[in-house]
Amino acid sequence: MTQVQLGQPVADFEVPSTGDKTFRLSDHKGKNILIYFYPKDNTPGCTLEGQNFRDDIAFFNDHNTLIVGVSRDSLRKHENFKTKQSFPFDLLSDEDETVCNLFDVIKLKKLYGREYMGIDRSTFLIDTNGVLRNEWRKVKVKQHLDEVKEAILEL
């Protein structure tokens, strides 16, 4: 599977989802899809990012935009995180990194002098025809929501 490119259709994929479902990209044609990748459930930045999307869910619903969050955490961890934070959107479990690799979000990271491969916080906006319209890499959580909403309004 080739990696995503702006202005090009995103290859179909399917991955386990909260709610005992399978998320298949092609099942959501006709909707804008906001896919946000985050490093780990229940960490401060990841929690705040999800809360920002949760707290403005009416905007996304009003603009025909489905939100899904993706990390390498297990479905069990995702279910707990989603319930604890009352997220009104599904979280996708990409333990084998298939979707992470499609969107090229696995990067070398450093923490306290230790190097490891992890998810680089990133968000992607796919239009109603399945075409990648926007991407945000190295996301800073605080101003991110406004940037995303502005891009949705431009679609």
Is the pLDDT score of 153 beyond 90?
Answer: yes
Domains and CATH numbers, the chain: 14-154 (3.40.30.10)
Task: Count Cβ atoms below 10 Å from residue 107 Cβ, excluding itself.
Answer: 13
pLDDT of residue 2: 81
Question: Identity (one letter) of the amino acid at 137?
Answer: R
Active site residue 100: no
pLDDT digits (tens, 9 = 90+) for 65-87: 999 999 999 999 999 999 999 99
Nearest of 134, 104, 133 to residue 120 by alpha carbon: 104
Q: Which of 46, 102, 119, 125 is catalytic?
A: 46
- Tell me phi and psi for residue 54, to 5 degrees: -60, -45
User: How large is the average pLDDT for residues 48-58?
Assistant: 98
Is the pLDDT score of 103 beyond 90?
Answer: yes
